[in-house]
Chain A
Amino acid sequence: AQKITQTQPGMFVQEKEAVTLDCTYDTSDPSYGLFWYKQPSSGEMIFLIYQGSYDQQNATEGRYSLNFQKARKSANLVISASQLGDSAMYFCAMRDYTDKLIFGTGTRLQVFP
């Protein structure tokens, strides 16, 4: 069965430091996409970055990168040079042959000065 696991309920990071948010997944489908979303306190869901199951290189989008380790079924989000505005909930999600997106339980990131 498809499953996304985020084991860190909360993370703290100092401004300008890098932080890694963990995500593991499970699916029997060889074709899938992995996504990260940010949910600020205002509530909207903001798409950040994605990785396809056949992609050879890790995805990057500005300060966000996705550390994709297929054999370990992990897709960790790395945020470099954290900013105060990065404080939010972060969700890892997967889309496979079922077409829908399934989400992990999220990690609350707090960036302090």
Chain B
Amino acid sequence: DSGVTQTPKHLITATGQRVTLRCSPRSGDLSVYWYQQSLDQGLQFLIQYYNGEERAKGNILERFSAQQFPDLHSELNLSSLELGDSALYFCASSGTGTGVYSPLHFGNGTRLTVT
């Protein structure tokens, strides 16, 4: 168990809809990262938050947004969903200890299916 909790595990929704994915990082971790894993794009970094503030952006669509709350949990909002948004979405967290030498610890992911 990585200590990172993601809910829900599965999500099935229709095109055009909006969903929210939730993530609770490991206790004490200030950084939260969101990744998208699809068959054709592999593992893509979306966005990073550190202690409530956006730290870095990757290949995140404008239809997607995220935030990190004071209790450090994070939510990824996906709107105007398209078939191509179907993917496994991971949240990961890391602490502040050893920087680049620290691994990211991943949650079990939320599998989103857009029909």
Chain A positions near chain B (C-beta within 8 angstroms): 29, 31-33, 35, 37, 43-47, 50, 52-53, 91, 95-103, 105-106
A and B contact pairs by CB, cutoff 8 A, 16 listed? A29-B100, A33-B103, A37-B106, A43-B88, A43-B109, A44-B108, A45-B92, A45-B109, A47-B2, A52-B101, A99-B55, A99-B100, A100-B48, A100-B56, A103-B43, A106-B42
Q: A43-B88, A43-B111, A45-B90 are in contact. Are A102 and B100 (CB under 8 A)?
A: no
Q: Are B109 and A101 in contact (CB under 8 A)?
A: no
Nearest 10 A-B pairs (CB), nearest first? Answer: A45-B106, A103-B43, A33-B101, A52-B101, A33-B100, A47-B103, A95-B100, A44-B108, A100-B45, A101-B104
Which residues on the A side are within 8 Å of B103 (C-beta)? 33, 35, 47, 50
Taking the closest CB of chain A, its distance from the CB of B94, in whole angstroms, is: 9
How many angstroms from the CA of A57 to the CA of B31 in the assembled complex?
29
Taking the closest CB of chain B, its distance from the CB of A105, in whole angstroms, is: 5
How many angstroms from the CA of A32 to the CA of B92 in the assembled complex?
18
How many angstroms from the CA of A102 to the CA of B48 in the assembled complex?
13
Taking the closest CB of chain B, its distance from the CB of A72, in whole angstroms, is: 20
Question: Which of B45, B107, B111 has the most A CB atoms < 10 Å from its CB?
Answer: B45
Taking the closest CB of chain B, its distance from the CB of A25, in whole angstroms, is: 13
Q: A45-B106, A52-B101 are in contact. Are A101 and B92 (CB under 8 A)?
A: yes
From A37, which residue of chain B is reached at the shortest CB distance?
B106
How many angstroms from the CA of A31 to the CA of B42 in the assembled complex?
25
Q: Are B58 and A97 in contact (CB under 8 A)?
A: no
Is B22 at the interface (CB under 8 A from chain A)? no
Taking the closest CB of chain B, its distance from the CB of A12, in whole angstroms, is: 21
Which residues on the A side are within 8 Å of B55 (C-beta)? 99
Q: Are A50 and B43 in contact (CB under 8 A)?
A: no
